Structure 1
Amino acid sequence: MALDGIVIANLVHELNETVLNTRISKIAQPETDELLFTLKGKDGQKRLLLSASASLPLIYLTGNNKPSPMTAPNFCMLLRKHIANGRITKIWQPDMERIINFEIEHLNELGDLCRKTLIVEIMGKHSNIIFCDDTGRIIDSIKHIPAQVSSVREVLPGRDYFIPKTQEKYNPLHTDLDFFRSHVCKKPMSISKAIYSTYTGISPVIANEICHRASIDGDQATDALSEDAALHLYHNFSWMMEDVTACNFSPNIIMNGKEPVEFSAFHLSIYEDSTCVDYPSISAVLEQYYAKKNEYTRIRQKSVDLRKIVSNTLERERKKYELQKKQLKDTEKREKYKVYGELLTTYGYQAKEGDKSLEAMNYYTNEMIKIPLDETLSPLENAKKYFNKYAKLKRTYQALTELTTETETEIEHLESIATSLDIATQEDDLSEIREELVAYGYLRKKSGEKKKKSKSKPLHYVSSDGYHMYVGKNNYQNDELTFKFAVGNDWWFHAKGMPGSHVIVKTNGDELPDATFEEAAKLAAYYSKGRENPKVEIDYLEKKNVKKPSGAAPGFVIYYTNYSMPIEPDITGITQIE
């Protein structure tokens, strides 16, 4: 979710509460498209981050400092010249746009009181930070946009600043029922799209949320709305806008396990099945959300090469497996050729020269069958020909059976590695996976590369009854947990018939409570290939009954005497120990 107008409204409210009338004591430019202000007021020192990054435009209060370049960039120097030690006298958002304006009061070289405006535009790839004088003329900007780049608006020193109206949208805070009915309910599109395409600052997520609160399917067409439904939709829209006006915000992050999936200034009922984590401020939400999101994104980026290798090899192995199965199916007629040969040996004397077939009693089934003959060959030569076909297909069957089993095992191994890549959260996790890929010949070892001692450790949870539960993040950790860490009467959990983590529950010799069994099963379901399924079947048994076949790949085990339970892959509320 991009920073929509409602999140910006929350930010403006927070900034007015915290940094209005503070003085700008330091101005730094850590990145080419990012500013960091240190502000001093009666409540102490605060830092404000302003980013116009095309991929991650942001603005929030932070407690963290960032290193700056030795030589300050020109835009940073210009700001220092004009507004260093200036006072922020006004912070506002124009018409629910994704824009925050800072009016800054300062003294010029002659000691006269002046006002300048710093405009932060949070608009995806069009984001910018623009510095204007009191007449609205651009002094400079962190990004220069000439006419060759944008035909809509130039952002260059000396040009007049204006907000580009690329779409005809309206301020959602200034609307009424008649306007809503004529502009939203009459648009020939889905209801949610009609809302966010009509009003400024409304994201698709918020549009869907308004529809959900009104018990309306946002994907259905506007012409499906009855008069009563349209009125109910407007009321829910209006109530949310009243909350914006009254600043009744509830900053939160929606979590899927440990991964953030969404953030908002309001509670989102469309994510009722996910975990909602509340925060004291929208700045804390943005800082936490993007820090966690960056962590996952960084791991995804760093694992791209490994994912590609696993994906390509899996595709190749699956094609090979399908071909082998097809060839294996072709060998099913081998027994028929054997019977033909035996029957011809027994009844071949009945065939006459030039016959193209022979009908004989199949003494295995007591049925008459018709045996095709090569009329140029004698019955015994035909029998020999069928025996040769049988022998060839039998050899093929034996070879293919072995090859198919090997290929199937290879696919299972690769799928388990793919699942390990999905679970990985740290670079050390990737190192162990890379080590496994090298060990099994999927990846070449770099020349001169030394084996590093991995710092990656299994995930550690504690059940509601106080029992320690451990989750392997890859095949090496699964082996370590099951065969070196666990003892005989500890319990072992794994998703049935699919790649996933080994989960070990340390019993300390106790009989485990039912709640602990369920929580361990949830962990096994969540850390498996089936984590997106509504339910996953989990096998569980005492560790002493889990065996490892000789020569099997890491993480592969066999067991027979197990229990099973279907469970939701939801680990909400299970305590994790870092």
Structure 2
Amino acid sequence: MSFDGVFLHHMTAELSNVLTAGRIQKINQPFEAELLLTVRSERVTHKVLLSSHPQFGRVQLTKKDYINPQEANTFVMVLRKYLAGAFIEKIEQVDNDRQLWIHISTKDEIGDNLKIALVIEIMGKHSNIILMDKTSGKIIESIKHVGFSQNQYRTILPGSTYIAPPKSEFPNPFTASRETIFEALQTNQPLMGVAKDTRQGLASLSIDAFQEALETVVPSIYPNDRFSAIKIAEDYQAFDSLSDMLDFYYADKAERDRVKQVAAEVIRRVQNELKKNRDKLKKQEQELAATDKAEIFRQKGELLNTYISQVPNDKPSVTLDNYYTNEPIEIALDLSRTPAQNAQRYFHRYQKLKQAVKFLGEQIDHTKETISYLESVESNLENADVAEISDIREELIQTGFIKQRHRNKKQKMLPPEKYQAEDGTIILVGKNNLQNEQVSFKLAKKGDLWFHVKDIPGSHVLITGNSDPSDETITFAGELAAYFSKARNSNLVQVDVLDAKKLHKPTGTPPGFVTYNREKTIRVTADEATIKARKVK
């Protein structure tokens, strides 16, 4: 990918055309490294995404919806103080570098004019978003604080003087002379803001074609997972605007990263609980294996009672004929006990182990259920979007895996997702275990077909309102079950199908746990593009 100076050059023009003279209405920080501005310009509302993410740093208009935190942090509160209701005067790029200045005009509490700049620096791990007072040159606040111990060249702290990043000494391809650019191309000298892959894509062009390509906007994505603001190869997917292209390109990449940020605590808790329960299961199974001696203790007690007259009182053991195996057996004796007491001691040990077998069997079943449940939560987390993380967290609170000390009100749960088969049939998909419970036992009616991947954690899928679905619809429902499971990337996934009313939920089992039999099994391979296209908005 190439969010280089050339890309920002053209993005600056795209933003300027839309946002100049616009009024900033809202400021939010949906994620740790990202800022979202809502700007009203020429009677149209626009959302502007500013990202200081080390990998996905960018500036763009966006059509995506974001869930904003209920409580604003210090950075957002400061931005709202200075920027809410302010006008965007100008948007400009610094030379051809990855620095963008949004010049803003506003007023202070007593009505005096203020000249503010929102500076976005897109420089990998050093990326930042800085609010500064242009009159004094002082930093008001920044999304990342950088002290002297972190960067001896400059500090980025409230109250410190803003120092620009080191300036590139290479020629600016948009302002340098034709001769300078030609010489740079001939000697393979770097050009300011032209990334390596951009340069490689234009390497075979003449100086005239090179300059024309730089100036011609072609929002494009290429098969090798690169994007560009200009044409750098023949095989590409074109878009109407740079912002539309970035929305498409980052739809999954940034979303998965955001899920990791938002779900970090939940993921860690689930992984820790899984490890704890897997270790517990291993120990329980070892203890159960040790109970195999129970039958031996019973036999020894029986033999001591049968041959009690042959059992000495003054020896630590006795060898008796074992009529169970037709072989002699040596039986250890407690010298402090009589022969009858020794027999009773073996019977007691037998009864104790017999009870342990029953107890351990129940405990092992419970531990396996817990592991199965946590694995299903882990699968749900892998397939969740940001909006669904709070539902999964609420589910873990309800099941006791996460403790919530202060709860003002019950979390409102998202409904199951809806997909539409080719014939119009609606199919429901549970994206977490509470939704799975709803799909399987509250929304399902007699005759509705229910789907789940065989022996693998995944979503519960239900065909609704169609008692006689076509083979195509059944196959698509199976593909949904495969896609929203740990078998997402596998071919010919086995999916169980049965009437939803044949499902059974054992008492005391966690959400989403079901048992069933007499199912049919189909084999499907999920197609991601088809599934995304058929999601009901």
Please report the TM-score for the alignment, with normalisation by the length of structure 2.
0.67
Equivalent-residue separation in structure 1 for 2:40 and 2:407 (angstroms): 50
Task: Determine if contact 2:377/2:392 at 8 Å carries over to the other structure.
Answer: yes
Alignment-mate amino acid for residue 291 of structure 2: T
1:528 and 1:424 map into 2 onto residues whose CA distance is 11
Deviation at 1:522, TM superposition (A): 1.8
1:529 to 486, 493, 501: 486
Say which of 512, 515, 518 aligns to 2:470: 512
Deviations 1:49-77 (A, max 9, x none): 6948466743335689x99967647xx99
Q: Where do residues 61-460 of structure 1 align in structure 2 (5 Å cutoff)?
A: 61=61, 72=82, 84=89, 94=96, 98-99=98-99, 121-124=121-124, 125-127=126-128, 150-152=151-153, 162-163=166-167, 202=195, 238=203, 245=214, 249-252=218-221, 264-265=227-228, 279-287=239-247, 301-347=261-307, 349=309, 358-366=318-326, 368-374=327-333, 376=335, 380-425=340-385, 427=387, 429=388, 432-444=391-403, 446=405, 449-451=408-410, 454=412, 456-460=414-418
Listed one character per residue, the Cα deviations across residues 405-444 of structure 1 (whole Å, up to 9, x for unaligned) are: 22222332333344444444465x5565455444444445
Q: CA deviation at 1:329?
A: 1.4
- Identify if the C-alpha distance between structure 1 residues 199 and 23 changes in structure 2 by more than 3 Å, giving closer, same or farther: closer
**Residue 494 of structure 1 contacts residue 500 of structure 1 at CA under 8 Å; is this kept in 2?**
yes
Give the Cα separation in 1 of the matches to 2:454 and 2:48. 48
CA RMSD of aligned residues (A): 5.6
Change (3 A) 1:54 1:436: closer
Q: Is the 8 A contact 1:47 1:61 kept in 2?
A: yes
Query: 2:376 corresponds to which letter in structure 1?
Result: S
Gaps of 5+ in 2: 29-33, 65-75, 104-116, 171-179
Cα distance change of structure 1 residues 149 and 164 upon mapping to structure 2, 3 Å threshold: farther
Cα distance in 1 for partners of 2:316, 2:186 equals 89
Does the Cα contact within 8 Å between 1:28 and 1:68 map onto a contact in 2? no
| 1-structure distance, mates of 2:311, 2:162 | 106
Q: Paired residue for 2:495, among 523, 538, 544? A: 538
1:501 Cα offset (Å): 1.3
CA contact (8 A) 1:128 1:142 kept: no
8 Å Cα contact 1:318/1:411 also seen in 2: yes
In structure 2, relative to structure 1, the CA distance for the partners of 1:129 and 1:68 (3 Å cut) is closer
Correspondence 1:555 to 2:512? yes
Query: 1:407, 1:518 → 2: CA distance?
Result: 34
Q: Is the 8 A contact 2:318 2:333 kept in 1?
A: no
Residue 529 (structure 2) pairs with residue 577 (structure 1): no
> What is aligned with 1:9?
6
Deviations 1:501-521 (A, max 9, x none): 1101136232521x3233212
SS in 2 for 1:485: coil
CA distance in 2, matches of 1:375, 1:516: 72
Aligned residues: 477
How far apart, in 1, do the equivalents of 2:393 and 2:38 lie?
42
* Structure 1 contact 537–564 (Cα < 8 Å) conserved: yes
Letter in 2 for 1:163: K
CA deviations on 1:379-407 (whole Å, 9 max, x unpaired) are 55443332222122112112221222222
The alignment's TM-score, normalised by the length of structure 1, stands at 0.63
- Aligned-partner SS, 2:497: strand
* Percent sequence identity over aligned pairs: 28
SS at structure 1 position matched to 2:528:
coil
Q: Could you list the per-position Cα deviations for residues 242-267 of structure 1 after superposition, in whole angstroms to 9, with x for gaps in the alignment? A: 7975858453499xxxxxxx772299
SS at match of 1:576: coil
CA contact (8 A) 2:495 2:521 kept: yes
Deviations 1:518-541 (A, max 9, x none): 321221122223435566432222
Whether the aligned pair in 1 keeps the contact of 2:78 and 2:141 (CA below 8 Å) is no
Q: Structure 2 CA distance, aligned partners of 1:364 and 1:440?
A: 49
Amino acid across the alignment from 1:408: K
Of the structure 1 ranges 476-485 and 241-250, higher mean CA displacement relative to structure 2 is found in 241-250
**How many Å separate the matches in 2 of 1:414 and 1:372?**
46
Q: Which residue number in structure 2 is paired with residue 110 of structure 1?
A: none
Over 3 Å counting, the alpha-carbon distance change for 1:4 and 1:446 in structure 2 is same
Choose 313-322 or 27-36, whichever is displaced more: 27-36
Residues 519 and 571 of structure 1 are in contact (CA less than 8 Å); yes or no, is this contact kept in structure 2?
A: no
Q: Distance in 1 between matches of 2:214 and 2:38?
A: 28
Q: Which amino acid aligns with 1:9?
A: V
Structure 1 residue 317, shift from structure 2 partner: 3.1
Match for 1:468 among 426, 438, 444? 426
